[in-house]
């Protein structure tokens, strides 16, 4: 199903009337080429062009459409008319002259193996003449030589005066692109038709944490993985065209500048629809961090999503368009499927809207209106560092959103434990607690009332009330002794949220001392608030289980936020 959906997406992109937006035809691929050797018709080097742009280590080379690269392992295998400097020029960059000589010979042999019509092309003749007469001294004085000797970059050729590379000349493209002509030796699982089966599938690049040379979804490299005497790709037979299509489509979705992928933890998630649709490019804005030059981009994206769900209309695409979400994670030389979901665009938009509804909680004006997944998860991590996010958590959260499931228990546990460890519920932690509790209530269909984004004085839950009580006692202490370096929260929050009976009797006695320092009007106001809160609390529990510790944290957070609004419910009474 996944490979079929990717194959369909490839064919959709191939049919795009805009050539700049089409995916490469069979036998071609897009490749970043940092250096281009410009030669004249007789094979003389005219210029060594540096196509890179950017600053410092972030420089990236220009991307060109080139013949599809071969699958390289530990052996020697050359690409056609483009490769690393060791293959193209025979320059030894790693102290292995014998191997480099073998690589360079393989590069030349690959060119000479082209059909006669291609070898007679002026560009191919010029390349062969250049290789015949090349000596390393020719590059002396070039500012790029030192970099080439150290980094072994990818290189290719261009005739001086041409815009296209030699490998892009019509005669070369005619010899390398197009459908495979091998005789069928199996039935393709994607097309269902007889086809020449691909033995080794092209590598998939762009999955965070996987090997830089690429990894595979379909791979059989040990006898233990084989069945019925079949070897390698024959165990999951895909035609060469289908294997090229799904890997090209996935590499496109995972591309560095793709707006159809997001990275959450170790999970690389890609999105696509079966026809052009708003949601394809909106996911980055919905879940990612907004750019510094447009901090409201995610707010606008969420508003557009809400409008689409409420009106039942997208500006581009239909409600019933099938939409696909694929989560990938690294696994040595392979890629693991973390999750896979297919739904209509409207259903997916509804689920994403529900995610933002569940996370909605009152917060300070300077905090973002909607939490990106990065801010949400780093807000739960130790020291608020992304490196401390549990490795599988991001993928599990994404799966919960797109499959409309309860959030992972690890996310809730992390939020509660960080509140207790740091003695402070924050925006991200309160949002996590509220969202997790509400989904749990909804999923289990319990009689408990769902929690509101703001303070809910009518909520009778004892743990929620105790959190409110703790916030009120802290507020009384702060007003009685302005400028305190530490409040009861810094000393008692952990015990109050887990073993209330051990601290609340003491705190209520201390409260009487603090009340004496308030004005009579304010003291009366706070007493009324305490009475309202304690009205639903029969006794202080000996212990609060983890879920009630979350309710305590949310009650504390809501009450604290209510104190800093212009008009609290208590002040209106």
| Reduced 3-state DSSP string for 474-540 | HHHHHHHCCCCCCCHHHHHHHHHHHCHHHCHHHHHHHHHHHHCCCCHHHHHHHHHHHHHHHCCCCCC
Burial class (CB in 10 A: 0-12, 13-18, 19+), 106: middle
**200 and 313 share one domain:** no
**400 and 276 share one domain:** yes
428 located within any domain: no
Choosing from 258, 284, 313, the residue where a domain stops is 258
Range from 133-142, 228-237, 344-353 that averages highest in pLDDT: 344-353
Q: How far is CA 328 from CA 158, 205, 253, 400, 435, in A?
A: 37, 11, 12, 15, 25
| Phi, psi of 343, deg, nearest 5 | -155, 165
pLDDT of residue 222: 82
Choosing from 242, 258, 274, the residue where a domain stops is 258
16 located within any domain: no
**Which residues are within 8 A (CB) of 90 and not within 5 positions of it... i.e. 6 or more apart?**
100, 101, 103, 104, 134
**97 and 207 share one domain:** no
Average pLDDT over residues 521-527: 96
pLDDT of residue 179: 57
Q: Is 46 helix (H, G, I), strand (E, B) or coil?
A: strand
Q: Do 64 and 57 meet the contact criterion of CB atoms below 8 Å apart?
A: no
The encoded tokens of residue 379 equal: 């807000």
Q: Do 215 and 207 meet the contact criterion of CB atoms below 8 Å apart?
A: yes
Beta pairing partners, 437: none
Structure confidence at residue 72 as a pLDDT band (50, 70, 90)? confident
330 located within any domain: yes
**Which residues are within 8 A (CB) of 549 and not within 5 positions of it... i.e. 6 or more apart?**
416, 419, 420, 463, 497, 498
pLDDT of residue 178: 64
Q: Is residue 39 scored above 80 in pLDDT? A: yes
Closest CA to 79 of 179, 147, 155, 169: 155
**333 and 223 share one domain:** no
Q: What is the mean pLDDT of the chain?
A: 93
Average pLDDT over residues 62-76: 88
pLDDT of residue 180: 60
Q: Is residue 75 scored above 90 in pLDDT? A: no
The encoded tokens of residue 168 equal: 């892009």
**33 and 172 share one domain:** yes
For the chain, the distance separating the N- and C-terminal CA atoms, rounded to the nearest angstrom, is: 60
Burial 267-292 (b: 16+ CB within 10 A, else e): bbbbbbbbeebbbbebbbbbbbebee
**149 and 276 share one domain:** no
Structure confidence at residue 572 as a pLDDT band (50, 70, 90)? very low
84 located within any domain: yes
Choosing from 161, 176, 191, the residue where a domain stops is 176
**471 and 558 share one domain:** yes
63 located within any domain: yes
Q: What percent of the chain has pLDDT over 90?
A: 81
What is the distance between the alpha carbons of residues 116 and 174, in angstroms, rounded to a whole number? Answer: 12
pLDDT of residue 568: 43
Q: Do 138 and 47 meet the contact criterion of CB atoms below 8 Å apart?
A: no
pLDDT of residue 567: 56
What is the distance between the alpha carbons of residues 206 and 442, in angstroms, rounded to a whole number? Answer: 37
Number of domains in the chain: 4
325 located within any domain: yes
What is the distance between the alpha carbons of residues 527 and 530, in angstroms, rounded to a whole number? Answer: 5
Structure confidence at residue 231 as a pLDDT band (50, 70, 90)? confident
Q: How far is CA 72 from CA 67, 78, 147, 202, 552, in A?
A: 15, 8, 23, 10, 57
Q: Do 110 and 79 meet the contact criterion of CB atoms below 8 Å apart?
A: yes
Q: Do 27 and 21 meet the contact criterion of CB atoms below 8 Å apart?
A: no
pLDDT of residue 569: 45
**264 and 234 share one domain:** no
**269 and 359 share one domain:** yes
Q: Is 197 helix (H, G, I), strand (E, B) or coil?
A: strand
DSSP string, 79-120: -SSEEEHHHHH---SSS-HHHHHHHHHHHHHHHHTS-HHHHT
430 located within any domain: no
Q: Is residue 468 scored above 90 in pLDDT? A: yes
Q: Do 427 and 371 meet the contact criterion of CB atoms below 8 Å apart?
A: yes
Structure confidence at residue 265 as a pLDDT band (50, 70, 90)? confident
Q: How far is CA 151 from CA 68, 120, 155, 156, 164, in A?
A: 22, 33, 12, 15, 25
Structure confidence at residue 570 as a pLDDT band (50, 70, 90)? very low
Q: Do 165 and 83 meet the contact criterion of CB atoms below 8 Å apart?
A: no
Q: Is residue 566 scored above 70 in pLDDT? A: no
Burial 149-175 (b: 16+ CB within 10 A, else e): eeebbbbbbbbeeeeebbbbbebbbeb
Q: Domain range for residue 390?
A: 259-405
**357 and 471 share one domain:** no
Record the pTM: 0.87
Which is more confidently placed, 248 or 18? 248
**Which residues are within 8 A (CB) of 271 and not within 5 positions of it... i.e. 6 or more apart?**
253, 260, 261, 279, 280, 283, 323, 324, 325, 326
- Which residue bears the tokens 């295998």? 77
420 located within any domain: no
Average pLDDT over residues 417-430: 97
Which is more confidently placed, 17 or 358? 358
**475 and 563 share one domain:** yes
**346 and 269 share one domain:** yes
Kindly state the DSSP code that residue 449 receives in the 8-state scheme.
Answer: P
Average pLDDT over residues 518-527: 96
**Which residues are within 8 A (CB) of 310 and not within 5 positions of it... i.e. 6 or more apart?**
none
């Amino acid at each position: 199903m996944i490979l079929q959906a990717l194959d369909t997406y490839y064919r959709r992109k191939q049919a795009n009337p805009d050539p700049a937006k089409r995916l490469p035809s069979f036998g071609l691929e897009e490749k970043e080429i940092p250096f281009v050797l410009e030669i004249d018709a007789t094979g003389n080097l005219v210029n060594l062009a540096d196509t890179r742009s950017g600053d410092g280590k972030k420089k990236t080379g220009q991307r060109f459409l080139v013949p599809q690269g071969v699958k390289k392992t530990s052996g020697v295998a050359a690409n056609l008319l483009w490769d690393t400097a060791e293959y193209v020029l025979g320059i030894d960059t790693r102290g292995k002259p014998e191997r480099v000589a073998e690589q360079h010979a393989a590069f030349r042999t690959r060119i000479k193996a082209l059909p006669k019509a291609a070898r007679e092309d002026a560009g191919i003749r010029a390349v062969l003449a250049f290789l015949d007469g090349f000596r390393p001294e020719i590059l002396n004085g070039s500012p790029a030589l030192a970099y080439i000797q150290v980094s072994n970059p990818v290189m290719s050729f261009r005739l001086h005066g041409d815009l296209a590379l030699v490998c892009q000349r019509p005669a070369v493209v005619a010899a390398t692109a197009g459908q495979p002509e091998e005789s069928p030796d199996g039935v393709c699982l994607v097309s269902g038709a007889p086809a020449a089966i691909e033995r080794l599938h092209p590598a998939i690049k762009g999955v965070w944490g996987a090997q830089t040379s690429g990894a595979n979804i379909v791979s059989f490299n040990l006898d233990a993985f084989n069945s019925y005497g079949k070897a390698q790709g024959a165990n999951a037979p895909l035609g060469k065209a289908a294997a090229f299509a799904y890997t090209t489509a996935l590499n496109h979705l995972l591309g560095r500048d793709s707006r159809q992928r997001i990275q959450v933890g170790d999970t690389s998630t890609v999105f696509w629809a079966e026809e052009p649709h708003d949601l394809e490019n909106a996911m980055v804005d919905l879940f990612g961090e907004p750019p510094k030059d447009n901090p409201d981009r995610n707010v606008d994206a969420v508003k557009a999503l809400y409008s689409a769900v409420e009106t039942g209309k997208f500006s581009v695409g239909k409600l019933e368009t099938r939409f696909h979400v694929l989560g990938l994670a690294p696994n040595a030389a392979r890629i693991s499927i973390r999750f896979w979901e297919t739904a209509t665009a409207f259903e997916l938009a509804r689920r994403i809207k529900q995610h933002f509804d569940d996370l909605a909680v009152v917060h300070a004006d300077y905090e973002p209106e909607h939490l990106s997944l990065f801010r949400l998860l780093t807000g739960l991590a130790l020291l608020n560092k992304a490196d401390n996010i549990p490795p599988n958590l991001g993928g599990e959260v994404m799966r919960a959103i797109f499959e409309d499931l309860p959030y992972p228990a690890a996310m809730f546990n992390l939020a509660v434990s960080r509140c207790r460890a740091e003695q402070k519920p924050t925006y991200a932690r309160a949002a996590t607690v509220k969202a997790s509790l509400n989904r749990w209530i909804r999923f289990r269909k319990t009689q408990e009332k769902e929690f509101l984004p703001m303070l809910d004085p009518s909520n009778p839950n004892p743990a929620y009330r105790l959190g409110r009580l703790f916030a009120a006692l802290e507020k009384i202490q702060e007003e009685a002794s302005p400028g305190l370096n530490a409040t009861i929260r810094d000393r008692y929050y952990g015990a109050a949220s887990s073993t209330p009976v051990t601290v609340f009797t003491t705190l209520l006695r201390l409260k009487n001392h603090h009340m004496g320092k308030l004005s009579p009007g304010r003291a009366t106001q706070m007493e009324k608030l305490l009475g309202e809160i304690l009205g639903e609390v029969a006794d202080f529990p000996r212990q609060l289980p983890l879920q009630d510790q979350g309710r305590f944290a949310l009650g504390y957070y809501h009450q604290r936020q209510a104190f800093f609004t212009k008009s609290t419910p208590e002040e209106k009474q």
